[in-house]
Structure 1
């Protein structure tokens, strides 16, 4: 099951198509009892989601590379920011190169400063760590949260229901089959998000830019009322046509009599391109990527939402829709027996029994 963004609706107003290379991404975090972390992010440009596993099975031919050789990536990882980078290649697999970005963090706060910066064109990951003492056991809770890929400004709340979120939550791991009914629901959700919602978000930005252009050209107040009165009817036509191209908007505004020339309206298109290009490029790459997440806990795992477990290692293979319109958290809780607490408790019990027995004899 591979969920891909249908970017067509976004591109109807753009003269050039946005190109995106599909990336295979695997994030691995090793958690230590003191809260420090080792993070490695593997990135490969490929159409095979198993390529990272295949390359890691052949750890030979590893070479160091400089920052000028590293791949552009949705995390914004760079050598100059403290990331160590190595490459691995298997010639018989179409010479695909795997980039492994590694870095040690003393705390989740340091990790979040590097990976959770609120930038519209970067993939954001927030880590959390909590350590609790419960007498016989010490518990560690660790989680990585992928923030929503959607970077459009218009709120999505009017287009997504609680049932939609529940459906997304129960979708299985990437590659697992879903029922025919779920396939239909997924297709419907896809159309709703990237039909009605995407066009609405794009239209709202076009509308705001039109108002701004009218203000810059000192258009009379009555034309604002005209535009406002027809806002929803224009939107309905946009949705029914799936068309928000430059010519359509020019003709529509001209039919309302709004005194803006074609040349002036063309500036809206340029502004829209500038505002949306980087966001759409990021969303296209991030949504088309294949993800694998791994957390290595220091102790035995007692609670997790992982797709699979091997000892203290936990694995997830989430489809990108899991974190397309909302944040998604991967978590694990581990515990360690406090032997000293057991010894102290045993000593207290023995001492209590001894004193009780001695008292009875007395």
Structure 2
């Protein structure tokens, strides 16, 4: 049995940021990362919009707001230090109706409380900044950026291993037992540690159950479908373009995002996936299906949002419906411009009453801490999340 002081389960950006922070906080400790895939950052970390968020939408005083504000600065500083390319593009939140103009005022107040610099643009100023975008007005958020989070993860991994850390890939955790430390059974053997941190994203609730606890939520997978615009349309906008979100709905809506590789994507939508790693429309996993359809929270969630649920499903199956959402603020996009692009799956934590968990959640054991819920902006916030985890670890270790 391989023995360590600390084990981190999960090889995404939060897992590697946590492993690296543990290494810095506990010099000389033996630390390992267990990742079930053959490579790091293959799931949520490597399948997102690549946006360095500013924190516009998040409730003042929440962990989301705190971590995002700190993470925006920390991510850029990490990239500068390690020469990882990123762009501080800024972001436009575009209001296309008078109702959205009203909601924009609420967002501006939230930005003020979260200490996020913004600028209000009228219709003419919006046209000057983005000639191909239409709207009645917009909010300009200059601190938003674009980066490749998988590249950040691999840099964290390089720092971790060069300082003596070990990464075990193709290592799926099968069982966890706390007993004067923690014993882990995996697909490649057994491990033990004085303390374990779980950063398993789409499988966080299962890790909690392995520890003998019943989580207050279940992970429901929502596939986010993206499209990529053709080369001749890549410069149709210069900045990320977002709609003004409806606060009564759990998802933001599709947006236009210039990516770090120079491409331009449209998306994501949000439709229930048939597997936790169901990146294609018809990917199914029997265990995941049983988990979902035996859970009362799924039906209560759908019952709360029947219209949006059907609309998202329709637009997933009917591409012109998806296109119409993008054309509200960028009418120059045509159906033929929606080229294939990899989908992502969002780990949506939902309680039994159908309510979504919107903030970060950490579940503590005697010798363990599991990141139960890490919603967007988790990638932006990875470095401060890691610091927070390690502070909690110190307290639990006494």
Quickly name the TM-score band, shorter chain normalised.
Answer: under 0.3
Q: So what's the TM-score if we normalise by structure 1?
A: 0.24
Q: So what's the TM-score if we normalise by structure 2?
A: 0.22
